[in-house]
Structure 1
Amino acid sequence: MIIVTGGAGFIGSNIVHGLNARDIRDILVVDDLSDGRKCLNLADADILDYVDKDDFLARIRADEGFGQVDAVFHEGACSSTTEWDGRFVMKVNYEYTKALLAWCVARRTPLIYASSASVYGMGPVFREGREFEHPLNMYAYSKFLFDCHLRPQLAGLDSQVVGLRYFNVYGPREQHKGGMASVAFHFHNQLKESGRVRLFEGSDGYGPGEQRRDFIHVDDIVAVNLWLLDNPQVSGIFNLGTGRAQSFNDVAHAALRWMRARGEEGGGIDYIPFPEHLKGRYQSFTEADIGALRAAGYARPFMDVESGVPAYLDWLAAHG
């Protein structure tokens, strides 16, 4: 069996579909379906069972087993960067992951978990080192602190434990995230509404729409997770981005080209004032240093915006 926490969410459900593509269906999904719309991410997937996240935590704290578990993909978390209830975030993200780590280590079960590029704060260096980590919100701090909890244990572990610091992920099955969904998803909706897309004006020395992020398609995220499943000798904390920053304008132009290729009229970019509440808390530049991941043996290329965005928009158009 393979356990996927957050398995009805964005990245978790894509991992489930990736496992299904390998003809793996012996999957236990753990999640919180208070927002029942997330079930749509699994409606076309095959799984063995589902357990609520609180019930799952109670069982692992009671040291209960789930039969033969070959690996755990831990994607479940409070991922809102605007959530300032620190007690809630630390319980859901930090304490939960500590309990799951202890359970997996005791059983020598591989654990591959979602960390976050948000641990680097404003950067400008995005390399897996304590000197470059400056979290600016509770979500980032909870991810950062667990990475710090894990680091001194890594050398003495007998089983695989991997933290993946996701950069700006976009792709299928993120529609339930609302305002936290990717800019590519919001562009799709804006194009349907008006044929135009909206971007922030300049900030932090960048021109309108020229803020730059490391945008990575969720298919590449899944590919790395499954590569780690195949390579249990690899442990550590790794950045997971493309290694190349691209501008929001690049994403917008990729979306506009997609629309025009479909023969649809309109197209253009509207630049809106930069929000006051984001000033000083907005990553105007991210770019993953993926040297450690490459050194660990992952050699496949990553999709750039020009190929990933139209592929995603095709999926959205097909799925309504």
Structure 2
Amino acid sequence: MIIITGATGFIGSCLQARLYDLKEKTVVIDWLGDEGKWRNIANHVPTDLIFPEYIDDFLVQHCKVIRAVIHLGAISETTARDGDLVWKTNVNLSKKLWHWCALNQVRFIYASSAATYGGANQLEEFTDEPNHIADLKPLNLYGWSKQVFDRFVLEQVRNHQPVPPQWAGLKFFNVYGPNEYHKGKMISVVKVKFDDIQKGGVPRLFKSDRDGLTDGAQARDFIWVGDVIEIILWLLNNPDVNGIYNCGTGQARTYLDLAYAVCDAVGCKREVEFIDMPQSLQGQYQYFTQADMTRLKVVGYQRAFTSLEEGISKYIQDYLLRPDPYL
């Protein structure tokens, strides 16, 4: 049995769908809520769904049949303000699951975030070397909570405390793909630009407010959700791999590249409207992210990543333009 926390959400439900197709027995720890998240698992129903408040009893009753915990559940909004709730959900629950997996010798894979890199804007700043991770300075509550747990994990290992038989954290960069429709303001830029076109307009991008950088040249490491799932499955198939690793493509692409790829996938003319950056973002906007994927490749991950154009075409053609856009 594999436990997936947060599996009614975006990445979690895509993982649940893949494990379902592989005929794995899975139990989801999550709430369905009232945002239509039930649709994310409607086509790939898990063996069971347990509400998080009952997780302790469930773990006690099933400790002998759980072979892995994949912990993706979190308050992931970068605009989150309730520090107590974020700490309880993103830090305390993560520590509880870590200690339980260590005690019961169950493998533990969890979601970290590229938000831990804070205001990094240079390639060398996006390294996942353990000595570098400890010094990161996140800019928001969400990123800070992920950094707190990353540091906890590294301290446990460094101090020779009990650890799960396999442990791995993944720093997700800009993930896009199906089943993200409940995310509101946190939905991917790909979906936002697609919606711009569907409303009869053209994709809108922020103007650059940095000297020497043209409008639309802001760049991110955008990763297709299917590639994220491949990395998680690879970890499950390689139980000797431990560590905290970046989860991106290792290639930054501009927002203009993304907007044009959306236009191409929809089948419309390449047109973009540049709008002023909101004052609230000026001076705080991250102009560049690119995952250093060296360490994951060194430990054996060799699968090629989906190009931005291919991923966007797949997302739009296979999901967004269908009557049922869910995986």
TM-score (norm 1): 0.93
- The whole-number CA distance in structure 1 between the counterparts of 2:176 and 2:206 is 19
Q: 1:176 aligns with which of 172, 182, 199?
A: 182
Q: Secondary structure at the match of 1:307?
A: helix
Post-superposition offset of 1:54: 2.2
Per-residue CA deviations over 1:189-224 (Å, capped at 9, x if unaligned) read 111111411111113443212110000000000000
Q: Secondary structure at the match of 2:245?
A: strand
Q: 1:287 aligns with which of 279, 284, 290?
A: 290
Percent identity between the two aligned chains: 38
Q: Which amino acid aligns with 2:202?
A: R
- What pairs with 1:79-94 in structure 2 (closer than 5 Å)? 79-94=76-91
Q: Which amino acid aligns with 1:194?
A: G
Deviates more, 1:96-105 or 1:187-196: 187-196
Q: Secondary structure at the match of 1:16?
A: helix
Q: Which amino acid aligns with 1:275?
A: P
- How many corresponding residue pairs? 313
- The whole-number CA distance in structure 2 between the counterparts of 1:267 and 1:304 is 19
- What pairs with 1:18-33 in structure 2 (closer than 5 Å)? 18-24=18-24, 26-33=25-32
Q: 1:271 aligns with which of 255, 269, 274?
A: 274
Gaps of 5+ in 2: none
- The whole-number CA distance in structure 2 between the counterparts of 1:199 and 1:132 is 32
Gaps of 5+ in 1: none
Work out whether residues 114 and 165 of structure 1, in 8 Å CA contact, stay in contact via their aligned partners in 2: yes
Post-superposition offset of 1:279: 2.6
Post-superposition offset of 1:131: 6.1
Number of the residue aligned with 1:317: 321
- The whole-number CA distance in structure 2 between the counterparts of 1:103 and 1:160 is 13
Post-superposition offset of 1:70: 1.2
Q: Which amino acid aligns with 1:33?
A: L
Q: 1:59 aligns with which of 57, 60, 63?
A: 57
Work out whether residues 120 and 132 of structure 1, in 8 Å CA contact, stay in contact via their aligned partners in 2: no
Number of the residue aligned with 1:186: 192
Number of the residue aligned with 2:127: 127
Number of the residue aligned with 1:200: 206
**C-alpha distance 131-46 of structure 1, shift in aligned 2 (>3 A):** closer
- What pairs with 1:1-320 in structure 2 (closer than 5 Å)? 1-24=1-24, 26-56=25-55, 58-59=56-57, 63=60, 65-123=62-120, 124=122, 125-128=125-128, 129-130=132-133, 133-154=136-157, 156=160, 157=163, 159-205=165-211, 206-260=213-267, 264=268, 267-314=270-317, 315-318=319-322, 319-320=324-325
Root-mean-square deviation (CA), in Å? Answer: 1.7
Q: Which amino acid aligns with 1:283?
A: Q
Deviates more, 1:65-74 or 1:115-124: 65-74
Post-superposition offset of 1:245: 0.4
Work out whether residues 71 and 108 of structure 2, in 8 Å CA contact, stay in contact via their aligned partners in 1: yes
TM-score (norm 2): 0.91
Q: Which amino acid aligns with 1:230?
A: N
Q: Secondary structure at the match of 2:36?
A: helix
